[in-house]
Amino acid sequence: MKIGVFDSGLGGLTVLKELISEYPNNEYIYFGDTINLPYGNKSKKQLLTFVDKIIKFFKDEEVDLIIVACGTSSSNIYFDIKDKYHVPIIDILSPTINYLLSCNNKKIGVMGTEMLIKSKYFDKYLKNKEVVSVKAPKLVPLIEKGEINSLEMQTTLKEYLKVFDENMILVLGCTHYPLLAEKILKIKKLKLIDMGKVLSKHINLTNKGQFKIKLYFSKVDATLLKNVKQIFNDCKLYEKKL
Ligand code: DGL
């Protein structure tokens, strides 16, 4: 099975990694739209334009399935794209919503991009829970700049995490954030939800082919190469402008 996975940048690689560990016998093709990054402050119209090009690229590559490994796109445009392209498209948020609905916790924390939080997606689907949301617009740019270990990241995270109570469930509503999991847990004891992990555990894919992986980005530079190396050790990156 050939699976296309996309995000604004390297965040979706956290999802890809989980998919590969559950379903190693597939062919994966990844697209990170680094030229248009971040998606978190873009309008719905802009997101539709970017994603249209990515899906057409995946269709040319003859994928069997597309996974929207981006919380921002999943919350804002998934229902506009899901039946449009005659190829199955899966969003990253639904499995997490289903998981949260099945757990007893009444109070759920969500940290995400500006557009994800603005969409009120979690409030809409978790009506019987109290959702505490925080917009975290500074995190994706810092991660993409390779500044996970910077002082600015530390101060920014501390500020964003203030509103969450100890031991609370916190949804990492953006696929970049699992890269910050260790840092977050050092600041506050929370139960983190990694949406890529939840998705990979809950979808049912066939798993009988040869493993292949190809990583495309709309812009490749030295920082991206270094960042990706920390997630996928020896993978070649291809630059592809859509
Ligand atoms: N990984 C994307 C998400 O899940 C980041 C969006 C952005 O580029 O701001 O929302």
Predicted confidence (pLDDT) per residue in 2-57, tens digit: 999 999 999 999 999 999 999 999 999 999 999 999 999 999 999 999 999 999 99
Can you list the positions of beta strands (E) in the chain? 2-7, 27-32, 65-68, 89-91, 107-112, 130-135, 169-172, 191-194, 212-217, 237-239
Q: Which atom of ligand 1 is nearest to the CA of 174?
A: 4
Q: Are residue 87 and residue 202 in the same domain, yes or no?
A: yes
Q: Are residue 100 and residue 86 in the same domain, yes or no?
A: no
Q: Are 29 and 59 in contact, with CB atoms under 8 Å apart?
A: no
Spacing, Cα 4 to ligand 1 middle (Å)? 17
Q: Are residue 88 and residue 206 in the same domain, yes or no?
A: yes
Q: Are residue 119 and residue 183 in the same domain, yes or no?
A: yes
> What's the average model confidence in pLDDT over 58-74?
98
**Looking at the predicted structure, is the pLDDT value of residue 175 above 90?**
yes
Q: Please name the residue whose Cα sits nearest to atom 2 of ligand 1.
A: 70
| Count of domains forming the chain | 2
Q: Are residue 161 and residue 125 in the same domain, yes or no?
A: yes
> What's the average model confidence in pLDDT over 148-156?
97
Predicted confidence (pLDDT) per residue in 14-29, tens digit:
999 999 999 999 999 9
Spacing, Cα 74 to ligand 1 middle (Å)? 10
> What's the average model confidence in pLDDT over 176-183?
98
CATH assignment of the domain containing 104: 3.40.50.1860
Q: Are residue 82 and residue 44 in the same domain, yes or no?
A: yes
Rounded CA separation 97/119 (Å): 15
Predicted confidence (pLDDT) per residue in 115-146, tens digit:
999 999 999 999 999 999 999 999 999 999 99
Pick from 15, 72, 122 the residue to mutate for probing ligand 1's pocket: most ligand atoms within 8 Å of its CB: 72
Rounded CA separation 79/119 (Å): 13
Q: What is the pLDDT of residue 235?
A: 84
Q: Are residue 83 and residue 203 in the same domain, yes or no?
A: yes
Range of the domain at 177: 94-195
Q: What is the pLDDT of residue 233?
A: 84
> What's the average model confidence in pLDDT over 86-92?
98
Q: Which residues are catalytic?
A: 70, 174
Q: Are residue 78 and residue 163 in the same domain, yes or no?
A: no
**Looking at the predicted structure, is the pLDDT value of residue 63 above 90?**
yes
Spacing, Cα 161 to ligand 1 middle (Å)? 18
Q: Are residue 205 and residue 85 in the same domain, yes or no?
A: yes
Q: Which atom of ligand 1 is nearest to the CA of 70?
A: 4
> What's the average model confidence in pLDDT over 209-232?
95
Q: Are residue 34 and residue 149 in the same domain, yes or no?
A: no
Q: Which atom of ligand 1 is nearest to the CA of 41?
A: 9
Percent of the chain with pLDDT over 90: 98
Q: What is the pLDDT of residue 86?
A: 96
Q: Are residue 49 and residue 124 in the same domain, yes or no?
A: no
Q: What is the CB < 6 Å shell around ligand 1?
A: 7-9, 11, 37-40, 70-72, 113, 116, 140, 174-176
Q: Are residue 39 and residue 103 in the same domain, yes or no?
A: no
Spacing, Cα 181 to ligand 1 middle (Å)? 16
